[in-house]
Structure formats: C-alpha cells, structure tokens
Amino acid sequence: MSVRRDFSFEQDLMESLKDPTEAAHYIDAVLDLDDPATMLLALRQVARAHGMAEVARRASVGEKTLFKSLNENGNPTLLTLTKVLQAVGLRLRVTAA
C-alpha cells in the first residue's frame, strides 16, 4: 500500500531552507564533511529555496554569475560566497577547530 505524500523530499527541503536557522544548520553540517562539491550543492539548494533570481538581486550579482558560481563545477570567490550568504540571511563565521 503506497502512502500519498503532500511534499516530495526536495520540496520539503526547499521549504525548510527558507528558514535562516535551518539553512545555517544545514550548511554547518555540510561543512563538517569537508567536501567542496557537497558545499556547492548545499549553497545552491539554499539559494534555490530563496529563488535564484531574488538571491542574485539581493547579492548584487548577475544571475549568470550566480548560476556559474554555484554549479557543480563552480568556484565562487569569497566575495560572492559572502554576498550570497547575506542575501539569504546568513553570514560566514569561523570558530576554533
């Protein structure tokens, strides 16, 4: 017997990542994996949750630049990373290991 679900996993994830606290925990957990590709995926998912065009506008970054920076082969600069995080209500913080 199959159970009908209102949301797919991805829809549920996108909805939860709109909350800055949830997004911060998600990105923090991904950073612990020490995998740049997974970090890019997480950033891309957070940006998608907020709407890529809106994130680009808030970050004062061109949409093409944002897509290129966050795609699977992307390599965003620290400035772009900081702007994207600020655009979704987050900030970069460093703590002692």
For the entire predicted model, the pTM comes to 0.85
pLDDT for res 3:
54
- Residue count of the chain, please give it: 97
* Domain limits, the chain: 9-87
Averaged pLDDT, groups of 10, the chain, 97 residues long: 64 92 95 93 96 96 93 93 96 87
pLDDT for res 2:
57
- The span from the CA of 46 to the CA of 40, in Å, is 10
In this structure, what token pair is assigned to residue 44? 């891309």
- The span from the CA of 55 to the CA of 17, in Å, is 13
Compute CA distances 4 → 1, 8, 14, 15, 95, whole Å: 10, 10, 19, 19, 43
